A and B are shown apart, each in its own frame.
Chain A
C-alpha cells in the first residue's frame, strides 16, 4: 500500500517536473491541421444529388433499404449485387428524419407559432442547438451572432429568426468547403489511396464496404485492405462486403502487422491497376498512444507507394463533445482530410461536426444513413442544417 503512494508520488513529481521543464519555453501554438489540399484533381466520386432543389416529400428512391431489416437471404456469391446509383441518396435522409419526428422539430415548431421574440424563444433556440450536440461554446457563439443580427436587421417574428438561424448554421457548417473525395487514379496509373480511421464502433468497416459499393456503382475498380487485424472477424466482415460487389480484399493473419497488410493492399492495387484502394483500420481510442502511433506507422508505410489521397475519420452521429478531441488527436496522428458522419438515421443529430469544422476546419464529406448497403451519401450543408432544426421549413 505504501508502495502505491510512492508510485503516485514519483509519478506526480515526474509529471510536474516535466511540465516545468517543457512549459516555460513559451512556444507558440502549434499550427492547426492543414485544410485539404488546395488543388484537388478534378474528380467527384459521388455525383452530387441535385435534391437540394427537390421537394422533400418527393417520391424518393424505392425503399430497397427498408427490407434490409428483415434480412433477405444474400444472393449467391456468383451473382454480384448491383448497387443503386449514388444520385439522389441524400433525399432519403429527409424521409428517414420525417419518420423519426424529432422532439427538436416539434420544439421549433412551437417556437414558430409565437409572434414575438422573447427570452423564452432565445432559450429554445439555444436548447435546440445544445440538444443537437453542438456544444456549449459553438452554441453560445452562434446565438450571440444571431442576437446581433436580429438587433441590426430588426427581425421581429420567430419565422424570420428561423430563416436567419438556418443561414447561420449553413455558414457554420461551411457551405463552400470542398467536399469532393479524391478517388480517381493518379495520372501515372497509381491508384488513389483512402485510409479509413476512427474510434471503436463508429462503423469504419461498414463505411469501407459502402464506399466500395459506391465506387463500383460508379464504374470504378476497387481493392479493399483489411488492416483491422485486431478485432475478431473484422477482416471477414470486410471481405463479405467486398465479395458482394466483386472487389478483391487483401488480408493478413489475425493479430498481424496492420501496416504490412495496408502496404500489401496498395501494392496489390498497383499491380491490378485498379482505380482506388480502400484501407480499413482497426478502431482505436484516441487516448491510446501506442495505438495512435501504430496508425501513424500504417500511414507512413503506405506512403512508401506514394501519398495517401484521403484520410477519412469516421465519427458516430451520437458522439457528444468528445468528438472534437477525437478529431484533433486523429488529425495530429494522420492528418485527417475529411469526416464521415455515420448513423445519422437515428435520432442523433451529429451537431458535433459543427464544432469540429469550427475548431479544426475538417469538412464532413460523407454521411451514413443506415445499415442498408447503399446508405451512404455525400454531405450537403443545407440538408444537414434542416435536419438539425427539424424538417418543418423544408416541408
Chain B
C-alpha cells in the first residue's frame, strides 16, 4: 500500500504545525515528498522534476492563506497545478468539414486499440454518426477477426479487405477504406492499426504511411494507464513518428495511479480526450482531469467510488437503509449482512477504502483486513436465525455455541463479532438520529464521520466546476441539516466550509489537530 501524499506531507509538517505560514524551508521539505508520491504514481522522472520546479515557483509566490495549514496549502497548489496541466483545453473530437472524418488509433502492443476501436464506434453511433471500423492490424494473428467481432457487438460495419495474421498491406487497406466509406456514406472512419514499438523504425514508417494515405482528422495515441517510466520515451517516439492530436487512457478500471497521463500530456502537450474504464463496450467516457489529479496523488477518488456505488447498489435497498439510519432505527445484523454483500460486489474492501480520502490513519488497520474476513463474518451471521439477526440480545451462551459450530469458528469469534456489533450499532444510532452529535463519541465514530464530511465538502465544489454536475449532490440533502453541527469539533480555521468557492478537497481529511 502506498502512503498518500497527504499522509507523507503530514509527517513532514508535524514539527511545523501551528505556524500556518509557508516558508522556503517548508517548500523544500515538501518537494522530496511530492517527488516520491509522483514517482510512485509512475509519473516519468523528467516530468516530475519539471513539475516540482513549477510547484516550488508557485508556492514561493503564493499568498499565505490563513485558512490552511502548510501541508494543505502545498497539496492545494500541487492539485491545482495537476488539474491545470491535465485539463488545460480539454476538447472532444474534431469532425471534418467534409465527411468522412478519419480517426486513426496508434499505440504500443496490448494498449487496447482494437477494443477501443469498438468502444469509440459504439460511442460515435450513440452520438448519431455512422462509423466504419477499418482493420489495419494485419500483424497480430486474428486481430482482424477480433475487430469484426467487436464491430458486430457495437453494431457497426467493419471494413477488412485483407485476412490479416501477417497477410496484406495495411496502407492499401486504409486507402480502400476511405473510398468504401464515401461510397457507403459512413461519416466517421476509425482506423485500427497494429501495435508497434516507438523504436521500431520500420513499423513507425508504416504508421506514417497509413497516416499519409488517410490524412486523419484525429490521430489518437492509445496508452495503458499502467505504463511506467517508459511513457515518456514512447509518447515522444509516437509524436515524432506519427504525430498524434489526442490521447486515450485505457485500463483505468485497474488500480494503477496513472501517472502516465501527466507524463504524456507534459511531454507532448496533446490533450487527453477519453478514458476507457472496463472491458465492456460501454465502459468509455470523456476524461475528467480533476479525478485523474486526485488519483495520481493517491488522494482517493470519491467520484469513481460514487459511480461504482451507483452501479452496484440496489437503489431501493439503499434508500430503505438510509431511511433506517436517519430515522434512528436499530441497525440490525440482517441489514449489516445485506450491506456487506453489496459492498463486496464492488470489489475488494481494501481497494474501496483506498478510494476514500482520509483513510490514511487507518492504513495499519487496513493491512489486516482481508476479504476472507468478510466471508467469515458473513458465515457467522448466516448461521444465526432471523430472530437472532434482528435482536442480537437473545444470543445466550448456547446459541452462541451453536452459531460457532455452524460457521466453523470459535465462540470467541462470535462473541467478538457481537460485541463489536453492539458498538457499531450504538455509533450508527448516534450518527443517524443525531440532534447535534454527542461529543463523547469513540474514535471509530469519528472516522466514519470524517468520511462523510469529506463527501459533503466535495459535493458543492465539484458541482461548481465539475463536468457532470448532474451526478453530484449540489447541496446538502434536506434530511440531514444537523450534520454541520458536528463540524465545530474541528480545530478552528480548518472548517472546510469556510474555504470560499473552491473548497480544497484534501484539507478536509484532517480533523486531527
Query: Contact residues of A with B, CB < 8 Å?
Result: 1-27, 29-30, 69-74, 99-100, 103, 127, 130-133, 135-136, 199-203, 206, 209, 230-234, 236-237, 240-241, 285-289, 316-323, 325, 343, 345-349, 352, 371
Chain A residue numbers with a CB within 8 Å of B230 are 133, 317-318, 346-349
* Contact indicator A201/B228 (Cβ below 8 Å): no
Chain A residue numbers with a CB within 8 Å of B349 are 15, 18-19
* Contact indicator A321/B42 (Cβ below 8 Å): yes
Nearest B residue (CB) for A28: B368
* Contact indicator A9/B234 (Cβ below 8 Å): no
Nearest B residue (CB) for A286: B254
Chain A residue numbers with a CB within 8 Å of B352 are 15
* Contact indicator B45/A285 (Cβ below 8 Å): no
* Contact indicator A3/B371 (Cβ below 8 Å): no
**Stretch from B181-189, B314-322, B387-395, B493-501 forming part of the interface with A:** B314-322
Chain B: minimal CB distance from A238 (Å): 8
A19 to B367, CA, bound (A): 10
Chain B residue numbers with a CB within 8 Å of A131 are 44-45, 229
* Contact indicator A2/B478 (Cβ below 8 Å): yes
Chain B: minimal CB distance from A281 (Å): 14
Nearest A residue (CB) for B416: A25
Ordered nearest first, which 5 A-B pairs have the shortest CB separation? A320-B228, A201-B110, A6-B322, A232-B149, A320-B42
Chain B 97-130, CB-CB to A under 8 Å as 1, else 0, gives: 0000000000011111000000000000000000
Nearest A residue (CB) for B353: A15
B417 CB within 8 Å of chain A: yes
* Contact indicator B371/A201 (Cβ below 8 Å): no
A69 to B108, CA, bound (A): 14
* Contact indicator A13/B448 (Cβ below 8 Å): yes
B212 CB within 8 Å of chain A: no
Chain A residue numbers with a CB within 8 Å of B228 are 133, 318-321, 323, 348, 352
B385 CB within 8 Å of chain A: no
* Contact indicator A236/B199 (Cβ below 8 Å): no
Chain B: minimal CB distance from A79 (Å): 15
B74 CB within 8 Å of chain A: no
Number of residues from B at the complex interface, CB < 8 A:
114
Chain B residue numbers with a CB within 8 Å of A5 are 455, 459, 473, 477, 480
B197 CB within 8 Å of chain A: yes
A295 to B325, CA, bound (A): 38
Chain A residue numbers with a CB within 8 Å of B224 are 201, 316, 318
* Contact indicator A201/B229 (Cβ below 8 Å): no
* Contact indicator A7/B234 (Cβ below 8 Å): no
* Contact indicator A22/B340 (Cβ below 8 Å): no
A287 to B153, CA, bound (A): 25
Nearest A residue (CB) for B306: A8
* Contact indicator A236/B471 (Cβ below 8 Å): no
**Cross-chain contact of A7 among B41, B259, B313 (Cβ < 8 A):** B313
Chain B 391-432, CB-CB to A under 8 Å as 1, else 0, gives: 000000000000000000000000011001101100110010
* Contact indicator B366/A17 (Cβ below 8 Å): no
A288 to B421, CA, bound (A): 29
* Contact indicator B229/A132 (Cβ below 8 Å): yes
**Cross-chain contact of B203 among A69, A236, A352 (Cβ < 8 A):** A69
Chain A residue numbers with a CB within 8 Å of B257 are 321-322
Q: A16-B444, A20-B444, A200-B112 are in contact. Are A74 and B165 (CB under 8 A)?
A: yes
A247 to B482, CA, bound (A): 70
**Cross-chain contact of B343 among A18, A130, A230, A323 (Cβ < 8 A):** A18
A20 to B323, CA, bound (A): 23
Chain B 312-347, CB-CB to A under 8 Å as 1, else 0, gives: 010100110111010000000000100110111001
Nearest B residue (CB) for A22: B373
* Contact indicator A15/B356 (Cβ below 8 Å): yes
* Contact indicator A17/B226 (Cβ below 8 Å): no
A4 to B315, CA, bound (A): 9
A97 to B458, CA, bound (A): 48
**Cross-chain contact of A201 among B112, B199, B366, B455 (Cβ < 8 A):** B112
Chain B residue numbers with a CB within 8 Å of A321 are 2, 40-42, 228, 256-257
Chain A residue numbers with a CB within 8 Å of B60 are none
Chain A: minimal CB distance from B395 (Å): 16
Chain B: minimal CB distance from A240 (Å): 4
Chain B: minimal CB distance from A276 (Å): 21
- 9 contacts across the A-B interface (CB closer than 8 A): A3-B322, A4-B310, A6-B477, A132-B229, A237-B142, A318-B108, A318-B230, A321-B2, A346-B197
Q: A71-B139, A136-B40, A320-B256 are in contact. Are A16 and B351 (CB under 8 A)?
A: no
A84 to B302, CA, bound (A): 53
Chain B 482-507, CB-CB to A under 8 Å as 1, else 0, gives: 00000000000000000000000000
* Contact indicator B165/A240 (Cβ below 8 Å): yes
A213 to B259, CA, bound (A): 37
* Contact indicator A18/B227 (Cβ below 8 Å): no
A202 to B150, CA, bound (A): 19
* Contact indicator A4/B471 (Cβ below 8 Å): yes
A17 to B423, CA, bound (A): 9
Q: A131-B229, A199-B251, A232-B150 are in contact. Are A343 and B371 (CB under 8 A)?
A: no
Chain A: minimal CB distance from B52 (Å): 14
Chain B residue numbers with a CB within 8 Å of A230 are 279
* Contact indicator A20/B420 (Cβ below 8 Å): yes
Nearest B residue (CB) for A346: B197
B511 CB within 8 Å of chain A: no
B253 CB within 8 Å of chain A: yes
B240 CB within 8 Å of chain A: no
A343 to B444, CA, bound (A): 47
Chain B: minimal CB distance from A138 (Å): 11
Chain B 257-287, CB-CB to A under 8 Å as 1, else 0, gives: 1011000000000000000000100000000
Among B224, B353, B366, B431, max chain A CB count under 10 A is at: B224
Given contacts A1-B477, A349-B229, 6 further A-B contacts (CB under 8 A): A22-B369, A69-B200, A71-B139, A71-B168, A133-B229, A346-B197
* Contact indicator A320/B226 (Cβ below 8 Å): yes
Chain A: minimal CB distance from B474 (Å): 7
Chain B: minimal CB distance from A77 (Å): 12
A250 to B35, CA, bound (A): 50
B233 CB within 8 Å of chain A: yes
* Contact indicator B227/A11 (Cβ below 8 Å): no
B23 CB within 8 Å of chain A: no
**Cross-chain contact of B198 among A201, A236, A347 (Cβ < 8 A):** A347
Chain B residue numbers with a CB within 8 Å of A30 are 370
Chain B residue numbers with a CB within 8 Å of A10 are 313, 318, 321-322, 325, 339
A325 to B350, CA, bound (A): 12
**Cross-chain contact of A19 among B198, B322, B353, B477 (Cβ < 8 A):** B353
B56 CB within 8 Å of chain A: no
Chain B: minimal CB distance from A288 (Å): 7
Q: A10-B321, A133-B230, A322-B255 are in contact. Are A16 and B448 (CB under 8 A)?
A: yes
Q: A6-B322, A200-B112, A232-B150 are in contact. Are A23 and B42 (CB under 8 A)?
A: no
Q: A11-B313, A201-B110, A321-B42 are in contact. Are A3 and B318 (CB under 8 A)?
A: yes
A26 to B364, CA, bound (A): 10
Among B203, B230, B455, max chain A CB count under 10 A is at: B230
Chain B: minimal CB distance from A332 (Å): 9
**Cross-chain contact of A236 among B142, B451, B459, B477 (Cβ < 8 A):** B142
A19 to B325, CA, bound (A): 19
A123 to B276, CA, bound (A): 36
A71 to B171, CA, bound (A): 13
Chain B: minimal CB distance from A52 (Å): 25
* Contact indicator A200/B368 (Cβ below 8 Å): no
* Contact indicator A200/B255 (Cβ below 8 Å): no
Chain A residue numbers with a CB within 8 Å of B202 are 69-70
A209 to B142, CA, bound (A): 13
Chain B residue numbers with a CB within 8 Å of A352 are 228
Among B2, B339, B367, max chain A CB count under 10 A is at: B339
Nearest A residue (CB) for B108: A318
* Contact indicator A7/B198 (Cβ below 8 Å): no
Q: A130-B39, A233-B149, A287-B351 are in contact. Are A21 and B417 (CB under 8 A)?
A: yes
* Contact indicator B306/A289 (Cβ below 8 Å): no
